[in-house]
Chains A and B, each alone.
Chain A
Amino acid sequence: MGLKGLLKRSAFAALAAGAMSVSVIAVTPGASGASTKASSSSGGTATMALDQNLAGFNINTSAASEYVLQEIMNMVWPQAFIINNKLQPVMNNQLLESATQTSGSPQTVVYTLNPKAVWSDGTPITADDFIYNWQAQSGNPAYTDVGGMPYDSASTAGYNQIQSVVGSNPSGGAACAPGTTADRNVGLCPNGRTVTVTFKPSFTDWRSLYTDIVPAHIARTVGWNTGFVGPTQTISGSWYTITSYNENQSLVLTRNPTYWGTPGKLDKIVFQFFSDDTQLVPALQNKEVNIINPATVNLSIVQTANQVAGTTKFTVPGLEFEHFDFNEADPYLARLGIREAIAHGVNRSALIARTVGEISKGIKPLGSRMYVSTQPQYKATTFAYSPSTSNNLLKEQGFTKGSDGYWHPNYGPQKGQDLTFTIQTTSGNSVRAQTEELFQAQMKAIGIKINIQNYDAQTFFGTNLVQGTYQIGEFAWVPTPFVSGNQSIYCSYTNTAKCGQNWIHFSNSEVDNLLASGSAAPSASQETTDFNKADSILWQQMATLPLYQKPQFWAWSNNLKGVLPNTASVGVTWNAENWTLG
């Protein structure tokens, strides 16, 4: 039911921002790399269905950060790096002439902006925008929004590791502007076309920064937090501009006449808002929209979509993955043997077969918490389904089997009674409820009793998980391709400053070291090695049990060409400037 879809997407937006650094939204650079003025544009209007309403346009704030908004802003605000459909960050070579890491310690990155880059109101895109966007998302209370309000930022990850942002080389050889105190850019050469970012001391995933760059000169007037409410403020620095916005109904993007690079091929891209995922396929069938990407992907939607003639359907395992959390504060789950016994008793292949397996055949039990199978850095650890191993492990604990087939612990609050755990997840989600039912049956087979108790998302995420009032939790992480965001989940729970998402009460110093060194690693490959090592320790410790990647699903009419589905949170419009209507 659509409500669940709604809640899911917003909950995940929050978790996504939390789980990882801000995902890089991608606009694809032109294939040739050269920025030429458009030859022939094919024209036409493509319509995409969105299943969530907007709450503002500054996607970098926690109030407005939504998956569907990214689909729009891909084409409107400049992106330094774009995640392509192979989940690799690629520099936007129409905005930037170069972006290189110049020195190791402290880490320094130098961006060179295209001198022709300009906002749709004529203001050049300069270092000032980079300076401002850093200050707004740094989490530093010294920087405040208009009216002295603290900045509302969806994620400070990465920006809070920046020491300074300085401009240089204004275009045309002009002198550096002095900057003003009010604008907080004195002496930083705000009109520079070269931007030097210095970290304190390093941030390996620097390519995840400077996506959805907010126009500084507008933000300083209308306010970062609540100022971007419509097309007037949300000016464009990219392929398309917002020309009309009917709240909760439709939003129209039109080709940006002031865009300096290769123009978008379509004349217009229209986004239509729907309140429920069940309306998407009928809308596609009725030719009301050209392309859909429902948040809830279940067999019914896929099968109904398969019956729509003249459309292409595409399913792929996404970045989002479902998993079980074990709360190690519980006296029984604190023991590795019991956690392992539970994990060995979960038949993940059967779970997949009955839930998402029918939708996407390529889904296998997920072997890593850090990367997903569609990423080249993926290193899977095999963990077998083995009820006999569970049996032995529980016997080793000294538990005895009761007459009803359930194990009886020999210590703790459940001593002498059936070993029982409660599993929680968000209520109103059929797939999750089905997963819980299957889990319950599988646990019964190895002699553990499972009770199911679900809560609405706010209570589940906001209270139960955070305060640790749960035993086993089921939910999904929505990572970005940048792995450093995992640190806050798995580093020691005692470190509340850095490890705010460690709700499993897990603590391991080796993991801590690997995560820290990986996040500050001088090279991406070192980062990968460290995080994969940390992951294998997490397997040995059975901190959490990854289940499967959730499939993503797109369907679009055959006359819409150039569509390349992208499982990163950039969404399918990452290359929408190349779409054509045939």
Chain B
Amino acid sequence: MLAYVIRRLLVSIVVLFFATVFVFLLVASSGNPLALLKANPHIPQSTIIARENLLHLNDPLWQRYWIWFSHAIRGDLGTTISGQNVWSEASSHLLVTLRMVIFATLIAIVLAITAGVVAAVRQNRLADHTITVTNFLLLATPVFVIGLALKEFVAIPINQHVGTTLFYTDGEQSPTLSGSFISRLPDYAEHTILPVLTLILVSYSAWAIYQRSSMIETLDADHVRLARAKGLSPRRVLIRHVLRNALIPVTTVVALDFAAVLGGAIITEIVFGWQGLGQWYLSGVTDLDTNVMLAYLLITATFVILFNLLADILYAFLDPRIRYG
């Protein structure tokens, strides 16, 4: 088991390395981030050349990659085009994104499991139909549509009706926020509700559909029928025999789906103006800033790899069939 995990980890690192090469080549050949400066005759040539040299823009591609790589291994992720430290920028943005993502994922998991179980247990009845239709509808709505709809048709009308700003649509917190952490919590909460809700709605629907079908499969399994035939109460059957097996796939799906959650976070950050990792990445792409993009890549890929590993471990742990496999 341990050997398996270590092997997977090593392979993942190799994959990660190739991913960085790929992304680097893509971005570095996309164009010159200082191109706009060249259009300006009042900026002395010496300045432009100096800045280009600082960013190693005139070096051959492999050399530029090597510079980045050799620094990155030692923990130095370089500077942005304007000279700011990439690591400090990235980590502060990451915290902002994590705030959104962690809340959303946890709540979405709980909701999804509940909805999936209810829909499966009440299959083909009204509850099931309502839940399933809602799920499909949410699934079919892209993230940005959900976010925009919440912003335009929920937040602003409610705020106007109530007369005060309950749902903030921009940013993670108010600018002049000060005071103890506890006193700042309500402000954080009011800013966090809508983005988190958006992410929840997006993630929950897929997992709920999945949980439902997984539950339905399990409810028909032999060992469940046996338990029922033995005369156990439906509730006991549900909790002890069905749920545990039905939870197996959804946990792994959630873990594996983490990349999608991060993708959704990018859009949610754009819609609600959070200065998170995704929004930072997007600016980096449009600015053709390789260091920013590679930093984003490293961070998200690390999360994805870790979560994939987690899924593997969880799955092996929960599924007794494999433990001895």
Asked if chains A and B are in direct contact (CB within 8 A), the reply is yes
Nearest chain A residue, comparing its CB with the CB of B151: A282
- The answer to whether B275 touches A462, judged by C-beta atoms less than 8 angstroms apart, is no
CB distance from A476 to the nearest CB of B (A): 13
Contact with A along B1-20 (1 / 0, CB 8 A): 00000000000000000000
Q: Which of B39, B169, B174 has the most CB of A within 10 A?
A: B39
Q: Please, how many angstroms separate the alpha-carbon atoms of A157 and B40 in the complex?
A: 11
Q: Please, how many angstroms separate the alpha-carbon atoms of A279 and B31 in the complex?
A: 30
- The answer to whether A155 touches B36, judged by C-beta atoms less than 8 angstroms apart, is no
Q: Please, how many angstroms separate the alpha-carbon atoms of A154 and B170 in the complex?
A: 32
Q: Please, how many angstroms separate the alpha-carbon atoms of A462 and B32 in the complex?
A: 8
B252 interface residue (CB < 8 Å to A)? no
Q: Please, how many angstroms separate the alpha-carbon atoms of A62 and B43 in the complex?
A: 7
Selected interface stretch from A232-240, A284-292, A429-437, A569-577: A284-292
Nearest chain A residue, comparing its CB with the CB of B166: A286
A249 contacts across to B, CB distance below 8 A: 171-173, 175, 275
- The answer to whether A155 touches B43, judged by C-beta atoms less than 8 angstroms apart, is yes
- The answer to whether B35 touches A458, judged by C-beta atoms less than 8 angstroms apart, is yes
A53 contacts across to B, CB distance below 8 A: 275, 283
Nearest chain B residue, comparing its CB with the CB of A499: B41
Given A14-B36, A459-B35, check contact A154 B273 (CB 8 Å).
no
A149 contacts across to B, CB distance below 8 A: 50
Contact with A along B204-242 (1 / 0, CB 8 A): 000000000000000000000000000000000000000
Q: How many residues of A contact B (CB 8 A)?
A: 68
Given A2-B270, A154-B43, A279-B273, check contact A456 B286 (CB 8 Å).
yes
The one of B42, B47, B172, B174 in contact with A18, judged by C-beta atoms closer than 8 angstroms, is: B42
- The answer to whether B270 touches A6, judged by C-beta atoms less than 8 angstroms apart, is no
- The answer to whether B50 touches A272, judged by C-beta atoms less than 8 angstroms apart, is no
CB distance from B320 to the nearest CB of A (A): 49
Q: Please, how many angstroms separate the alpha-carbon atoms of A47 and B175 in the complex?
A: 9
CB distance from A398 to the nearest CB of B (A): 37
B38 contacts across to A, CB distance below 8 A: 462, 466
Interface residues of A in 138-176 (CB under 8 A from B): 139, 141, 149-157
B151 contacts across to A, CB distance below 8 A: 282
B40 contacts across to A, CB distance below 8 A: 14-15, 17-18, 62, 155, 500-501
Q: How many residues of B contact A (CB 8 A)?
A: 52
CB distance from B153 to the nearest CB of A (A): 13
Interface residues of B in 236-281 (CB under 8 A from A): 270, 272-275, 279
B84 contacts across to A, CB distance below 8 A: 55-56, 229
Nearest chain A residue, comparing its CB with the CB of B152: A282
- The answer to whether A286 touches B44, judged by C-beta atoms less than 8 angstroms apart, is no
B63 interface residue (CB < 8 Å to A)? no
The one of A17, A56, A153 in contact with B82, judged by C-beta atoms closer than 8 angstroms, is: A56
B288 interface residue (CB < 8 Å to A)? yes
Q: Please, how many angstroms separate the alpha-carbon atoms of A159 and B247 in the complex?
A: 71
A7 interface residue (CB < 8 Å to B)? yes
- The answer to whether A55 touches B175, judged by C-beta atoms less than 8 angstroms apart, is no
A466 contacts across to B, CB distance below 8 A: 38-39
CB distance from A490 to the nearest CB of B (A): 13
B114 contacts across to A, CB distance below 8 A: none
Given A151-B47, A153-B44, A488-B41, check contact A226 B32 (CB 8 Å).
no
The one of A10, A154, A250 in contact with B176, judged by C-beta atoms closer than 8 angstroms, is: A250
The one of B42, B272, B274 in contact with A156, judged by C-beta atoms closer than 8 angstroms, is: B42
- The answer to whether B42 touches A488, judged by C-beta atoms less than 8 angstroms apart, is yes
A488 contacts across to B, CB distance below 8 A: 41-42
Contact with A along B146-168 (1 / 0, CB 8 A): 00000100011001100001001
B81 contacts across to A, CB distance below 8 A: 63
Given A47-B175, A283-B170, check contact A15 B39 (CB 8 Å).
yes
Interface residues of B in 7-61 (CB under 8 A from A): 31-44, 46-51
The 6 closest A-B pairs by CB, nearest first: A462-B35, A500-B41, A250-B175, A55-B82, A18-B40, A155-B42
13 more contacts with CB within 8 A, not counting A279-B171, A286-B168, are: A2-B270, A15-B40, A150-B49, A150-B50, A153-B47, A275-B275, A276-B270, A276-B273, A279-B169, A283-B170, A288-B174, A459-B31, A500-B41
| A–B complex contacts, Cβ < 8 Å, 7 sampled | A63-B82, A139-B46, A156-B44, A282-B170, A457-B36, A488-B41, A501-B41
